[in-house]
């Protein structure tokens, strides 16, 4: 085995004649390399075959792993004179007649489409590869070639003929998945390996046909190379055009989408083109031209790609402002085009596999198979179409980057610009932004005409302009744009985006449902809603004004504290003052009188207990603060002029049949009529802030309905005579306008969130309102002048706590005193009781004397006890 491995290393299969041919056919190289290695191995090479993932049993090959795939794209008819393939058989070597049969190591079958450019190149490359192999190894193979004409049925018939009649040991080709699927079934039944030249093979196919091997390299790295070019251009999205019905398209689409996602780019529009030339291509290109993204990745067959570019040329999509990136399916055959055709392909960047001029394992690098699939190529060549020819501008290598050559000491860069002057789409795409010039509130959008130097130009200022420019700075890519003034209604301006005249609109455009039929909006950058602005009037006299300094809860709390303190003082002083005793009604009135009198005087000379004096001092201190505060607040209410809205509800406007105003060109008229029920004849439009103020002062209108952003500016400038009244109606809100499906919308929304969360949005709004700030702020509400218990809570806790402590001390002392008196009285009673019943010496009670006649005889002589 070691000897066999050495022979293979010393005699590598190199060049295969590809360097003697203009075309690039890496698929045929891999197929022939693998096939010849299998056929020339002696029977004892089982271990080496297993290392390749192939099991050899007699004359049968069995593949261990499964492979992925998709089908190869058809290519157009060879534009130059090329060999016409006929059904034939020959033996490569010096000659078929003179060659000994011992030199013939195997029989190979091949199925190509001679009507396609790629099929002709594959056939020529295969013949030259076998010829070179014979010259280096003195071994020849019988090659049987069949022409399928691109017909799957004819390919299947050719495969059966090669297997049954020619006894081939393996088959190379075809190029399309439709042909591969028909041939693979026959090869699996006959146990003959089939080396597919299609771009890819579906994964499920290998589970069904174990003798199917994908010999063309994977396209994963090619998609990564394209993604790196897009990344260097700092593009946020690109378009993808692929061929409908092509089995490789699904996998290629998944690969390019994944590669673009890694570099932060999205597929904006994925367009499928039918394989047959039709008029629908013009319609699909028209949709792409109307979009904002003008960078296209093209993965089509050769002839379909040419038709695409011819159609794009007629539609003026091949010039400045458009970039087309082609995959290897087209780029590998661009050398076959004549100068007149190439001149119509301006703006094309192509990527293709690079065939290295090496004498190692293979022309395009080390040939390896993973799960029956040819390993990816890691080096790709980049071409650029300029004028009437194309040029090879450099290379991209995985893990290294871009370089002008593949020399050993060459330097690599992450920028494709290092390869020279390459078209950069970011320099040609400028957004056209519409700006309303008829805005009522110039603080949001102000379009100023500049007539200097005999040229009319415009300057764009305002909150919306500043906010948009700050938003663009937060985008992860560069965005170029120009402002254009629009003199018309807001609805007409929105439709300009729908008609593709403008790419977006920046201004005070309200977000409403009817406009969503044509365009999309960013999230609102202002508070949504509509409010009613009305004049103010002086508030009339109020008989209960004396109650207004304090809230109801404050009055209740004061009453509770007064009564509680009076009760504590009465309880402590009642034993010292006869006036505090008597009937219950008398004591109650006396207690209340004492409580309220304590608000104005201490009466310390009439208090006998120190506990009551402490409680009254603290309460008098609190009462002094409360009364002084009340006096100041009441004086302010009596001397300062107070105002109230002239209208406070929609119902009042309806009942008075009053006129109202709204902003010219606004959506509010429809809302006032449909939602709020106001009469159309009572709704009047205005076109300036001053006209609103004048109409309200002259009572031309009773109220003005404005969006919240406009109302903020109006009240900041006219805060002395007008107020906001009634509820806020949740509608509207301002946003930027984009076309439906715009790829910019998501990024702009994210940038707006960043600006809002960072406080930049609030700062911009504060700066705008500060320029219109009004110092004379009027008194709007009565509740704001009434004082609540919150302001005096500490004082209430202080006086209540002191009074409670005094009360507890008094109760404890009384209980203690009463307990001592009861103990002394009990002791005295016990002493008296003991003294009364104490026994004298030699004395007994009558019942203790023994009865005898002697005693009874003298009973008459006892003295009378009574």
pLDDT digits 0-9 by tens, 196-226 = 887 767 777 777 888 888 777 677 888 898 9
Lowest mean pLDDT among 47-51, 159-163, 514-518, 635-639: 47-51
* pLDDT for the residue 429: 61
Average pLDDT of the residues in 727-740: 90
Average pLDDT of the residues in 349-362: 65
CA–CA dist 615, 572 (Å, integer): 11
* pLDDT for the residue 288: 85
At the topology level of CATH, where does 2-215 sit?
Rossmann fold (3.40.50)
Residues 6+ apart with CB under 8 A from 838: none
**Cα torsion at 324, 327, 333, 335 (round to 10°)?**
50
Lowest mean pLDDT among 245-259, 358-372, 563-577, 669-683: 358-372
Q: What is the CA radius of gyration of the chain?
A: 51
Q: Over 80: is that where the pLDDT of 580 sits?
A: no
Beta partners for 240? 270, 297
Q: Phi and psi at residue 655, in whole multiples of 5°?
A: -65, -30
Residues 6+ apart with CB under 8 A from 767: none
Q: Over 50: is that where the pLDDT of 622 sits?
A: yes
229/613: higher pLDDT? 229
Confidence of residue 788 (pLDDT cuts 50, 70, 90): confident
Lowest mean pLDDT among 62-66, 175-179, 406-410, 466-470: 62-66
Q: Over 60: is that where the pLDDT of 194 sits?
A: yes
* pLDDT for the residue 705: 92
737/577: higher pLDDT? 737
Lowest mean pLDDT among 68-82, 166-180, 514-528, 546-560: 68-82
Proportion of the chain above pLDDT 70, given as a percent:
69
**Residue showing tokens 């992860």:** 476
Which CATH class name applies to 527-539+643-732?
alpha beta
Beta partners for 449? 458
Beta partners for 707? 530
Is-contact 298 249, C-beta < 8 A? no
* pLDDT for the residue 181: 85
Domain covering 435-526+735-771 assigned CATH 3.40.190.10 in the classification: yes
Alpha helices per DSSP H over 640-698: 650-656, 668-674, 689-697
* pLDDT for the residue 749: 93
Q: How far is CA 140 from the centre of its chain?
A: 63
Q: Among candidates 35, 64, 47, 36, which has minimal Cα distance to 5?
A: 47
* pLDDT for the residue 55: 44
Q: Over 80: is that where the pLDDT of 73 sits?
A: no
**Cα torsion at 526, 527, 529, 535 (round to 10°)?**
-90
* pLDDT for the residue 492: 92
* pLDDT for the residue 832: 60
Domain ranges of the chain: 2-215, 220-427, 435-526+735-771, 527-539+643-732, 545-641
293/714: higher pLDDT? 714
The 3-state DSSP class for residue 76 equals coil
Is-contact 445 507, C-beta < 8 A? yes
Is-contact 745 520, C-beta < 8 A? yes
CA distances (Å), 583 to each of 578, 589, 762, 811, in order?
12, 10, 70, 22
At the topology level of CATH, where does 220-427 sit?
Rossmann fold (3.40.50)
* pLDDT for the residue 458: 86
CA angle 266, 273, 259 (to 5 degrees): 25
Is-contact 607 569, C-beta < 8 A? yes
Confidence of residue 282 (pLDDT cuts 50, 70, 90): confident
404/656: higher pLDDT? 656
Lowest mean pLDDT among 410-419, 436-445, 508-517, 769-778: 769-778
Element housing 382 (H / E): strand 379-386
CA distances (Å), 803 to each of 225, 421, 626, in order?
87, 93, 18
Judge residue 366's burial from the number of C-beta atoms within 10 Å of its C-beta, 0-12 exposed, 13-18 middle, 19 or more buried: exposed
Is-contact 198 72, C-beta < 8 A? yes
576/205: higher pLDDT? 205
3-state DSSP percent of the chain in helix, strand and coil, to 5:
45, 20, 35
CA–CA dist 604, 569 (Å, integer): 11
Average pLDDT of the residues in 695-707: 90
CA–CA dist 778, 787 (Å, integer): 19
CA–CA dist 651, 640 (Å, integer): 31
Is-contact 733 528, C-beta < 8 A? yes
Average pLDDT of the residues in 79-87: 32
Structure tokens at 840: 């004298």
Q: Over 70: is that where the pLDDT of 16 sits?
A: no
* pLDDT for the residue 460: 92
Proportion of the chain above pLDDT 90, given as a percent:
13
96/173: higher pLDDT? 173
Average pLDDT of the residues in 767-787: 62
CA distances (Å), 764 to each of 231, 462, 464, 510, in order?
33, 10, 10, 19
Lowest mean pLDDT among 614-623, 791-800, 852-861: 852-861
Asked if domains 435-526+735-771 and 527-539+643-732 share a fold, the reply is yes
Average pLDDT of the residues in 490-497: 92
Is-contact 40 34, C-beta < 8 A? no
Confidence of residue 39 (pLDDT cuts 50, 70, 90): very low
**130-151 per-position pLDDT tens digit:** 887 778 777 778 888 999 888 8
CA–CA dist 704, 725 (Å, integer): 10
Confidence of residue 856 (pLDDT cuts 50, 70, 90): very low
Average pLDDT of the residues in 234-255: 80
Taken as a whole, the chain contains a residue count of 866
CA distances (Å), 152 to each of 111, 128, 184, in order?
11, 27, 11
Average pLDDT of the residues in 309-318: 88
Confidence of residue 536 (pLDDT cuts 50, 70, 90): confident
The 3-state DSSP class for residue 772 equals coil
Q: What is the DSSP letter of 347?
A: T
Is-contact 15 363, C-beta < 8 A? yes
Is-contact 63 210, C-beta < 8 A? yes
Average pLDDT of the residues in 361-381: 54
604/542: higher pLDDT? 542
Average pLDDT of the residues in 401-409: 81
């Amino acid at each position: 085995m070691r000897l066999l491995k050495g022979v293979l290393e010393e005699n590598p299969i190199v060049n295969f004649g590809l360097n003697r041919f203009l075309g690039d056919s890496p698929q045929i190289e891999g197929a022939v390399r693998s096939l010849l290695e299998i056929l020339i191995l002696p029977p004892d090479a089982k271990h080496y075959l297993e290392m390749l993932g192939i099991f050899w049993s007699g004359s049968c090959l069995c593949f261990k792993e499964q492979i992925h795939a998709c089908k190869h794209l058809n290519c157009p008819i060879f534009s130059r004179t090329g060999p016409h393939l006929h059904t034939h058989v020959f033996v490569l070597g010096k000659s078929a007649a003179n060659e000994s049969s011992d030199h013939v190591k195997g029989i190979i079958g091949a199925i190509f489409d001679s009507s396609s450019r790629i099929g002709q190149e594959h056939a020529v490359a295969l013949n030259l590869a076998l010829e070179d192999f014979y010259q280096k190894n003195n071994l020849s193979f019988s090659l049987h070639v069949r022409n399928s004409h691109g017909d799957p049925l004819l390919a299947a018939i050719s495969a059966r003929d090669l297997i049954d009649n020619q006894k081939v040991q393996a088959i190379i080709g075809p190029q399309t998945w439709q042909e591969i699927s028909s041939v693979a079934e026959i090869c699996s039944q006959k146990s003959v390996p089939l080396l597919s030249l299609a771009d890819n093979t579906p994964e499920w196919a290998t589970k069904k046909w174990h003798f199917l091997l994908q010999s063309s390299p994977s396209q994963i790295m090619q998609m990564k190379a394209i993604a790196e070019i897009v990344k260097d251009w700092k593009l946020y999205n690109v378009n993808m055009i692929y061929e409908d019905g092509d089995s490789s398209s699904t996998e290629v689409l998944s690969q390019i989408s994944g590669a673009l996602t890694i570099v932060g780019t999205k597929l904006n529009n994925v367009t499928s083109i039918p394989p047959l030339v039709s008029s629908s291509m013009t319609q699909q290109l028209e949709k792409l031209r109307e979009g904002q993204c003008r960078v296209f990745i093209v993965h089509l067959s050769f002839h379909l790609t040419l038709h695409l570019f011819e159609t794009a040329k007629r539609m003026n999509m091949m010039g400045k402002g458009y970039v087309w990136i082609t995959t290897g399916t087209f780029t590998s055959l661009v050398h076959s085009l004549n100068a007149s055709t190439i001149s119509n392909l301006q703006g094309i960047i192509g990527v293709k596999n690079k065939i290295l001029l090496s004498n190692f394992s293979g022309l395009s690098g080390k040939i390896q198979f993973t799960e029956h699939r040819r390993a990816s190529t890691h080096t790709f060549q980049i071409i650029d179409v300029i004028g009437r020819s194309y040029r090879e501008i450099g290379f991209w290598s995985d893990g290294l980057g871009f370089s002008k050559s593949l020399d050993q000491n060459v330097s690599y860069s992450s920028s494709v610009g290092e390869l020279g002057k390459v078209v950069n789409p970011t320099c040609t795409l400028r957004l056209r932004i519409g700006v309303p010039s008829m805005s009522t509130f110039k603080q949001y959008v102000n379009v100023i005409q500049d007539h200097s130097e005999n040229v009319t130009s415009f300057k764009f200022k305002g909150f919306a302009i500043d906010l948009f420019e700050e938003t663009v700075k937060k985008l992860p890519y560069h965005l170029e744009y120009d402002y254009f003034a629009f003199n018309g209604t807001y609805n007409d301006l929105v439709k300009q985006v729908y008609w593709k005249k403008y790419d977006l609109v920046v201004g005070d455009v309200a977000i409403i449902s009817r406009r969503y039929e044509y365009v999309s909006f960013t999230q609102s950058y202002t508070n949504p809603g509509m409010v009613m602005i009305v004049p103010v009037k002086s508030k009339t006299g109020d008989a209960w004004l004396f109650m207004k300094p304090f809230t109801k809860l404050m009055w209740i709390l004061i009453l509770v504290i007064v009564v509680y303190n009076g009760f504590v003082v009465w309880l402590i002083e009642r034993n010292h003052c006869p006036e505090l005793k008597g009937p219950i009604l008398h004591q109650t009135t006396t207690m209340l009188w004492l409580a309220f009198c304590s608000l104005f005087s201490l009466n310390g000379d009439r208090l006998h207990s120190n506990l009551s004096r402490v409680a009254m001092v603290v309460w008098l201190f609190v009462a002094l603060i409360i009364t002084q505060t009340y006096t100041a607040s009441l004086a302010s209410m009596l001397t300062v002029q107070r105002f109230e809205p002239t209208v406070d509800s929609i119902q009042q406007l309806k009942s008075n049949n009053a006129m109202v105003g709204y902003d010219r060109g606004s959506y509010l008229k429809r809302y006032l009529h449909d939602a709020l029920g106001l009469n159309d004849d009572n709704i009047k439009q205005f076109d300036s802030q001053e006209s609103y103020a004048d109409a309200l002062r002259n009572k031309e209108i009773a109220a003005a309905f404005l969006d919240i952003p406009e109302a903020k500016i109006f009240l900041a400038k006219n805060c002395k005579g007008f107020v906001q009244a009634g509820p806020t109606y949740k509608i509207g809100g301002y946003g930027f306008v984009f076309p439906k499906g715009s790829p910019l919308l998501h990024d702009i929304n994210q940038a707006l969130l960043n600006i809002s969360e960072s406080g930049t949005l609030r700062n911009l709004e504060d700066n705008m309102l500060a320029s219109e700030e009004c110092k004379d702020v009027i008194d709007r509400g009565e509740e704001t002048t009434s004082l609540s218990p919150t302001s005096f809570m500490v004082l209430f806790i202080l006086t209540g706590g002191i009074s409670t402590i005094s009360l507890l001390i008094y109760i404890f002392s009384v209980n203690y005193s009463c307990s001592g008196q009861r103990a002394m009285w009990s002791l005295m009673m016990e002493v008296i009781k003991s003294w009364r019943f104490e026994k004298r010496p030699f004395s007994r009670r009558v019942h203790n004397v023994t009865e005898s006649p002697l005693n009874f005889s003298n009973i008459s002589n006892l003295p009378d006890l009574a």
